[in-house]
Structure 1
Amino acid sequence: MTNEQYQEKIKLLKKWAHAYYVEDNPIASDEEYDRLYHEVLDYETENPADVAEDSPTKRVGGIVRDEFSKAKHIKRMWSMEDVFDRNEVVEWLERVEKNIGECEYFCEPKFDGASMNLLYEDGKLVRAITRGDGVVGEEVTDNVRTIRSVPLSIDYKGLIEIRGEVVIRKDDFEQINEERLEAGESLFANPRNAAAGSLRQLDSSITAKRRLVFYPWGLGENTLEHRKLSEKMDYVYTLGFLEPPFAQDCKGIDEIEAFYRMLIEKRDEIPMMMDGMVLKVDEVAKQEELGYTVKFPKWMCAYKFPAVEKVTQINAITLQVGRTGVVTPVAEIEPVNIEGAMVSRATLHNFDEIERKDIHIGDSVIIIRSGDVIPKIIKVLEERRDGSEMIVTRPTVCPTCNSELLDEGTLIKCQNLHCPDRVINSIIHFARKGCMNIDGLGSKIVELLVKEGIIKDILDLYFIKYEDLEHLEGFKEKRINNLIGAIQATKGVPLYRLLNAMGIEHIGEVASKALALEFGLDIVDATFDTVVALDGIGEEMANSLLEFMRVNHDFVLQLFETIEPTVEEKVEAEENPFKSKTVVLTGSMSVSRGIIKEMLEKLGAKVSGSVSKKTDYVVYGEDAGSKLTKAESLGVKTLTEDEMRQML
């Protein structure tokens, strides 16, 4: 076979695959496809230097990574504002049209999967990045190359980011779970979890077997000149991408509502899981005119589908111990299928709710589940009781470590930091961003380290040695050194970050800063009166802190000795207009709001996240959202960033 013949056969293979996977209209038999595929593969085996970048043989995966690297989106991937009924949609439309006048809206299904950003350059797929925090995600290009509905090359030479949802069709999801059941593996909870889990496989050949599908829904960086988003998406579909089964341009609430109702009716017919409809201003210039809030584009929202209700029976009540020691009751229910997901558990939140709803073991109940929301019990069918039901009693000892529980009424807590159920979650919390920020110490690694007996609490992290990790699968020299280095680099962090990382119930970052500044390392011996005297610290917070320090007194001292946190000296702020004032920040400013927050706190201000009548000032920048509106309605003094700086 010549190279020219090889290129022609690749072109034919791609044509057949596109007809099968994208158009759902096969134009060749499986036997013909397999025969041609192996002819191409044989040529590539003999001529490895000539293998085409977009060869269909690259779809099988086989690349194994140690870990995923981080990658930055060229343009931010935003979240969407949720609306839940016709009235909320009307309010959203009124806000939009108040600013840009009457307009057309582009409506399409909201598939329930994992968001993905594909970057093409010079017609080639060069990078695939998960949504992450919207700015930075995980680079999963090797895995995405195995998805048949993602073109490896497109007929467009510019730089373009194509955003969409990676999903698993409902029938494929059921088949995957059947295969996992036969293999003795744990089952995926729903198609969305299966899609997300498949994308994060370190071995891309596993991803290739998962039958993932990619549906584009938007664009990031691009130079397309179409006036409307719907026109841009029509062009994207011509590049070889899947088109959603339904999409429509709508004007006004009646047309929007009619399309929404049609999608609900078609819900069971559409092979992918849907949890709502996406509503977007279609004209690109008007999108740019509307702009963004801190969290969402002002020109799009998700009109969520109604929650699905099912009747089932409570077979048992089990107890879960969270990272802060809170004991949460969970209803083990008779398994019931809700939108393709087999649900066997429902949250009960706390024992007060059990008592308020008069829930018994053995009760028939109505449960609801909406989109990502964990199923919950909304009603007990008391008329179905036959006398065999059992009353649920409040626990007095921890179900895991048998320590005496602290019963605060609404919350029941295990305060033992060495409780096995607390250990993994407390270490995950300790390492996360905003706490100790230990890069590379994700939840899977924590679970592995605890399972292998390498660590049993957060203190053990600081005594991990190279030889403790070198026998673990996937841990090579660079990865081990990076992890140990990241852990050791947290020594000397500000005390408030360490307090926040301990996961003390009711004590967050703001409270941790106040406590660290007031008590320093003497926080372990603080008294109720001195703690509750601090501004913003209530009795419940004080009791939680003191009980935590009582139970873990010596352990906390060991942490202080090992980590040697930096203790900030308390300096009384000089008189200024913001001293002892409550300030709220909103909108985009000349520097990050974190820098302005730190500056105001040094001036003696309390920076809050929400506006109330007690707020003294709301300082706002560009694209300020609902906080500014609320401040104006409450008569709270508002300041631009420049006005704030002039006051200083």
Structure 2
Amino acid sequence: MNLEQYKKAVELLNLYSYHYYVLDNPITTDEVYDKLYHEVLEYEESHEDDILAFSPTQRVGDVISDGFSKASHLSRMWSLEDVFDSEGLEKWLTKTYKLDKHITFYCEPKYDGASLNLIYENGELTQAITRGDGVEGELITQNVKTIRSVALTIAHKDKIEIRGEVVIYKDEFAKINKERLLRGEAVFANPRNASAGSLRQLDPSITASRNLVFLPYGVGENTLEHKLLSQKMEYIYSLGFKKPPIRGVCKDFTEIEAIYEVMKRDRDSYPMMLDGMVVKVDEISSQIDMGYTVKNPRFSVAYKFPAVEKITTLKKIILQVGRTGVVTPVAIVKPTNIDGVVVERATLHNFDEIDRKDIRLKDKVIILRSGDVIPKIIKVLTHERDGSEVKVQRPTTCPVCGSELLDEGVLLKCQNLTCEARVINSIIYFASKPCLNIDGLGNKIVEALFDAGVVKSVLDLFDLKSSKLLMLEGFKEKKAQNLLSAIENAKGCDYWRFINSLGIEHIGEVASKTLSARFGSGFIDAAKDEIIALEGFGEEMAESVLEFVRVNRDTILKLQNILRPLEPVQREEAKENPFKGKSVVLTGSMSESRDIIKEMLESLGAKVVSSVSKKTDFVIYGEDAGSKYDKAMSLGVVCLSEEEMRDVTKIG
């Protein structure tokens, strides 16, 4: 074989691969392909300088990586808003039509796999990056080159990002799990996990062995001039990529519903797992005009398939204790495969729900799973009972520390701040920005301190010494000193921050400020009727404060003595203004930090809260305002831009 024959052989092999892996329409036999492949391989072994980058031999990874580096996407990869029924779709359409009435919609499957971004320059694949956080992901180019449905070269010469989902077909998934079982290895829970795990193998030959499939669903940065997304995607398919099993352009709700029903009906017949349908505005110019919220594109939505129900058996109930001490029952059920996911746990929410549904151990129950939502028990099959079922007893003591539980009816709570189950999360919360804002005391550091036995409670933070920190992995002199300084700087904080840092159930930032303003350090001696009299407080909140203080009085006094939080200064009553006494929500990016804007509004007598409801008086929005703005508009809440807010109050 000479050089020209070699080049023609490579082109022919790529044509065979395209028909086999992309079109699912083989034009030759495995024997013919294998014979030609080995001839090409033999030529390349003796002519290394002639090897073409797009030769099929370059798809077989043989260099094991030490790890993956990070790489930035050329343009952000966004996640989609979800809707779960026709009513949700109608609401999304109503919202979208307000932005542009003259639009149509491109519908395609929502694949259940791992998102991937391919970057091509001058027609060659230069980078393949996992989705990551949407801004940057892991660079896995060598692994992706082993995927036969990913083109190594394309006819398009301008720089372009082609986005898609990497999936494992259902029959291949079953084959992989069968082989793993025979080798005594753990099986994959579902095709999505198998796809993600296969993509991130340090040994590319393992990725190559898994028969992954790349299915494009969009483009990022590009110079394409198509006016419609449907046209743009047809062009992408023409470059050598697989087409979806079904897609279509729809003009309204009725047509979208029609293709959705077909997709839902036929989903089991498709070779890959689907978990819904993606609906996108087809007109590119309208997409650009609509833009994005903080989290999602406004021009696209994921229309998820209905939840799947299965019957299983309740084996036992375990108790989990959260940061605020809430004890949550979790059902352990007989492992059940629901749409490719093996479910072994289901949420029970609380013991009132167990009583209301009369859930018993050994009951046959119906569990429901919808998308990524935690499965839940929706029905007990009482007619299946044989008398061996056992009633679930409501616990009276914490399963971790043995302290008496506070029984609020719906909620059961461990109020012991030194309870081991609460310690890590309570310290993380204690150090967080809305509380004491201790820089450098994040999740991993707290976990390391706890695991090493250096910190077993919030109080232990203030006994930390440099010598103890330097014994931990990752700590050097400067890092240790910075952390100790940050802890020291937490002293003398505002009193409301001290109350908020305690993590009292139902008591957040706004309630902490109210308690602080009224009682200061005297909040630990406040009577129930005094607390209930506070604006925004009810009996449940008052009981929570009183019970927390009863259990943790000594700890509160010790922390108070260490931190010496500043007693609140009585603020002069604000003069009359449009925001005095009003409930205000902030959303979007402002010209100053939201904390400064918040302080400004509070000085005017406003109550700044985090979520929008019918009781909200104003939403102040900046750039990239998101779902809070959308909800406010739907509820008829007055929305003011930052500039309008400043104009109204004549501040700034």
Q: TM-score, normalised by structure 2?
A: 0.79
Farther-moved stretch of structure 1 (490-499 vs 602-611): 490-499
Instruction: Call closer, same or farther: CA 1:487–1:208 in 2, change over 3 Å.
Output: farther
Superposition pairs of residues 120-269 of structure 1, within 5 angstroms: 120-134=120-134, 136-141=135-140, 145=144, 148=147, 149-177=149-177, 188-196=188-196, 212-269=212-269
Give the whole-Å Cα distance in 1 for the aligned partners of 2:271 and 2:388. Answer: 41
Letter in 2 for 1:317: I
Specify the alignment match of 1:581 in structure 2.
582
Specify the alignment match of 1:398 in structure 2.
398
- Please state how far the C-alpha of 1:229 moved relative to its aligned partner: 0.8
Q: Deviations over 1:615-636 (max 9, x none)?
A: 3333345776776676678665
Provide the secondary structure at the position in 2 that maps to 1:285.
Answer: helix
Letter in 1 for 2:144: R
Q: Deviations over 1:165-189 (max 9, x none)?
A: 3333334444555566667766554
Give the whole-Å Cα distance in 2 for the aligned partners of 1:505 and 1:345. Answer: 26
Q: Deviations over 1:189-227 (max 9, x none)?
A: 433344445556677676666554432212222221111
- Please state how far the C-alpha of 1:324 moved relative to its aligned partner: 3.3
Instruction: Call closer, same or farther: CA 1:528–1:115 in 2, change over 3 Å.
Output: farther
Provide the secondary structure at the position in 1 that maps to 2:192.
Answer: helix
Provide the secondary structure at the position in 1 that maps to 2:267.
Answer: coil
Give the whole-Å Cα distance in 2 for the aligned partners of 1:604 and 1:514. Answer: 12
Q: Which has the higher Rg, Structure 1 or Structure 2?
A: 2
In the alignment, structure 1 residue 324 sits paired with structure 2 residue 305: no
Instruction: Call closer, same or farther: CA 1:526–1:38 in 2, change over 3 Å.
Output: farther
Specify the alignment match of 2:313 in structure 1.
313
Superposition pairs of residues 426-437 of structure 1, within 5 angstroms: none
Q: Deviations over 1:52-85 (max 9, x none)?
A: 59972574562223x864x654434333232233
Could you tell me which of 47, 63, 69 is aligned with 2:65? 63
Give the whole-Å Cα distance in 2 for the aligned partners of 1:599 and 1:299. Answer: 35
Instruction: Call closer, same or farther: CA 1:438–1:385 in 2, change over 3 Å.
Output: farther
Specify the alignment match of 1:472 in structure 2.
none
8 Å Cα contact 1:515-1:523 kept in structure 2 = no
Specify the alignment match of 1:505 in structure 2.
505
8 Å Cα contact 1:10-1:56 kept in structure 2 = no
Superposition pairs of residues 492-641 of structure 1, within 5 angstroms: 492=489, 504-511=504-511, 522=521, 525=524, 527=526, 535-545=535-545, 547-548=547-548, 551=551, 570=569, 572=571, 575=575, 577=577, 578-586=579-587, 596-620=597-621, 637-641=638-642
Give the whole-Å Cα distance in 2 for the aligned partners of 1:631 and 1:422. Answer: 36
Farther-moved stretch of structure 1 (230-239 vs 632-641): 632-641
8 Å Cα contact 1:279-1:303 kept in structure 2 = yes
Give the whole-Å Cα distance in 2 for the aligned partners of 1:37 and 1:256. Answer: 48
Superposition pairs of residues 448-459 of structure 1, within 5 angstroms: none
Letter in 1 for 2:164: G
Provide the secondary structure at the position in 1 that maps to 2:82.
Answer: strand
Q: Deviations over 1:439-460 (max 9, x none)?
A: 89667x9778766767656777
Give the whole-Å Cα distance in 2 for the aligned partners of 1:389 and 1:76. Answer: 53
Give the whole-Å Cα distance in 2 for the aligned partners of 1:551 and 1:396. Answer: 15
8 Å Cα contact 1:498-1:565 kept in structure 2 = no
8 Å Cα contact 2:215-2:244 kept in structure 1 = yes
- Please state how far the C-alpha of 1:607 moved relative to its aligned partner: 1.9
8 Å Cα contact 2:313-2:333 kept in structure 1 = yes
Give the whole-Å Cα distance in 2 for the aligned partners of 1:241 and 1:220. Answer: 16
Letter in 2 for 1:468: L
Specify the alignment match of 1:473 in structure 2.
none
- Please state how far the C-alpha of 1:511 moved relative to its aligned partner: 4.4
Instruction: Call closer, same or farther: CA 1:21–1:456 in 2, change over 3 Å.
Output: farther
Superposition pairs of residues 440-519 of structure 1, within 5 angstroms: 465-469=469-473, 491=487, 492=489, 504-511=504-511
Letter in 2 for 1:138: G
8 Å Cα contact 2:59-2:145 kept in structure 1 = no
Provide the secondary structure at the position in 2 that maps to 1:226.
Answer: coil
Farther-moved stretch of structure 1 (510-519 vs 229-238): 510-519
Specify the alignment match of 1:376 in structure 2.
376
Farther-moved stretch of structure 1 (372-381 vs 17-26): 17-26
In the alignment, structure 1 residue 93 sits paired with structure 2 residue 93: yes
Instruction: Call closer, same or farther: CA 1:119–1:642 in 2, change over 3 Å.
Output: same
- Please state how far the C-alpha of 1:137 moved relative to its aligned partner: 3.9
Superposition pairs of residues 4-83 of structure 1, within 5 angstroms: 18-25=18-25, 28-29=30-31, 31-32=34-35, 35=38, 39=42, 56=58, 59-60=61-62, 62-65=64-67, 69=70, 73-83=73-83
8 Å Cα contact 1:16-1:33 kept in structure 2 = no
8 Å Cα contact 2:325-2:415 kept in structure 1 = yes
Provide the secondary structure at the position in 2 that maps to 1:324.
Answer: coil
Letter in 1 for 2:332: E
Q: Deviations over 1:339-398 (max 9, x none)?
A: 122222221111000111111112222221111112111111222222221111101223
- Please state how far the C-alpha of 1:609 moved relative to its aligned partner: 3.5
Instruction: Call closer, same or farther: CA 1:633–1:248 in 2, change over 3 Å.
Output: closer
Letter in 2 for 1:584: V
Give the whole-Å Cα distance in 1 for the aligned partners of 2:216 and 2:440. Answer: 31
Structure 2 portions without partners, runs of 5+ = none
Instruction: Call closer, same or farther: CA 1:239–1:484 in 2, change over 3 Å.
Output: farther
Letter in 1 for 2:618: Y
- Please state how far the C-alpha of 1:305 moved relative to its aligned partner: 1.1
Question: Alignment RMSD, CA only?
Answer: 4.7
Letter in 1 for 2:138: E
Provide the secondary structure at the position in 1 that maps to 2:264.
Answer: helix
In the alignment, structure 1 residue 645 sits paired with structure 2 residue 646: yes
Give the whole-Å Cα distance in 1 for the aligned partners of 2:484 and 2:3. Answer: 54
Specify the alignment match of 1:474 in structure 2.
none
Provide the secondary structure at the position in 2 that maps to 1:468.
Answer: coil
Instruction: Call closer, same or farther: CA 1:58–1:252 in 2, change over 3 Å.
Output: same
Letter in 2 for 1:643: E
8 Å Cα contact 1:13-1:56 kept in structure 2 = no
Give the whole-Å Cα distance in 2 for the aligned partners of 1:589 and 1:631. Answer: 18
Provide the secondary structure at the position in 2 that maps to 1:267.
Answer: helix
- Please state how far the C-alpha of 1:106 moved relative to its aligned partner: 0.7
- Give percent identity, aligned residues only: 54
Letter in 2 for 1:641: E
Instruction: Call closer, same or farther: CA 1:33–1:449 in 2, change over 3 Å.
Output: farther
Give the whole-Å Cα distance in 1 for the aligned partners of 2:545 and 2:430. Answer: 17
Give the whole-Å Cα distance in 1 for the aligned partners of 2:95 and 2:197. Answer: 38
In the alignment, structure 1 residue 299 sits paired with structure 2 residue 303: no
Letter in 1 for 2:58: P
Farther-moved stretch of structure 1 (91-100 vs 382-391): 91-100
Instruction: Call closer, same or farther: CA 1:98–1:418 in 2, change over 3 Å.
Output: closer
Give the whole-Å Cα distance in 2 for the aligned partners of 1:455 and 1:605. Answer: 39
- Please state how far the C-alpha of 1:306 moved relative to its aligned partner: 1.3
Give the number of equivalent residue pairs.
632
Give the whole-Å Cα distance in 2 for the aligned partners of 1:125 and 1:641. Answer: 44
8 Å Cα contact 1:516-1:567 kept in structure 2 = no
8 Å Cα contact 1:63-1:205 kept in structure 2 = no
Letter in 2 for 1:229: L
Letter in 1 for 2:472: D
8 Å Cα contact 1:128-1:140 kept in structure 2 = yes
Farther-moved stretch of structure 1 (88-97 vs 228-237): 88-97
Instruction: Call closer, same or farther: CA 1:324–1:638 in 2, change over 3 Å.
Output: closer
Give the whole-Å Cα distance in 2 for the aligned partners of 1:144 and 1:280. Answer: 30
- Please state how far the C-alpha of 1:566 moved relative to its aligned partner: 8.6
Letter in 1 for 2:281: V
Provide the secondary structure at the position in 1 that maps to 2:319.
Answer: strand
Instruction: Call closer, same or farther: CA 1:31–1:387 in 2, change over 3 Å.
Output: same
Letter in 1 for 2:64: G
Specify the alignment match of 2:281 in structure 1.
281
Farther-moved stretch of structure 1 (307-316 vs 55-64): 55-64
